[in-house]
Amino acid sequence: MSKRTNPFEELLERLTRQLQSAKRSSERATEMNPERFGMSVGSPETGIDMTDSGDEFVVVVDVPGFEQDDIDIRLTKRKLSIDGEREHEIDDSEETYLRRERQTRSFSRQLTLPDPVDAEAVDAQLNNGVLTIHLPKLEPDEAAHSIDIE
């Protein structure tokens, strides 16, 4: 007697191969240009959320162990850059470690904002390892402007 194959197993194997192929293609495309897919560049360990609350964008970043002086926030046109570097300096001559896991850590995250923001009104707070940045949107200029023809 010949052994018949289960059609569901064949279907499942083919579907698994297609999903793996699609995942590899997506990963290659994301590595080449992560911002193309609305993703930010940076360390995946540094969690980041961005919300649109109507009149402002709110960006929340997890930065446990970082102090205010360890973090640099820059806004260039519609690109928000958040960088952090924490150094843990220890004089090894005075300490005898049984275990040492704490070390220098840094991160860099960049987001492209969907709309222009008022750079002068941006506000940031650091509270218990959570950085919150409020980015008020620019009001659309609805006033009519006369344009000269040359």
Phi first, then psi, for residue 34 (nearest 5°) are: -65, -30
Structure confidence at residue 41 (pLDDT): 47
Q: What is the DSSP letter of 93?
A: T
Pairing of strands 56-62, 71-76: unpaired
pTM of the model: 0.60
The two structure tokens encoding residue 118: 């008022």
The secondary element (H helix, E strand) that includes residue 112 is strand 105-112
Q: Give residue-wise pLDDT tens across range 110-138.
A: 999 998 999 899 999 999 989 999 999 98
- Distance, in Å, from the CA atom of 47 to the CA atom of 62, rounded to the nearest integer, reads 5
Q: Could you report the per-residue pLDDT of 20-72, keeping only the tens digit for each?
A: 887 777 666 555 554 444 444 445 567 889 999 889 999 999 988 888 988 99
| pLDDT at res. 1 | 54
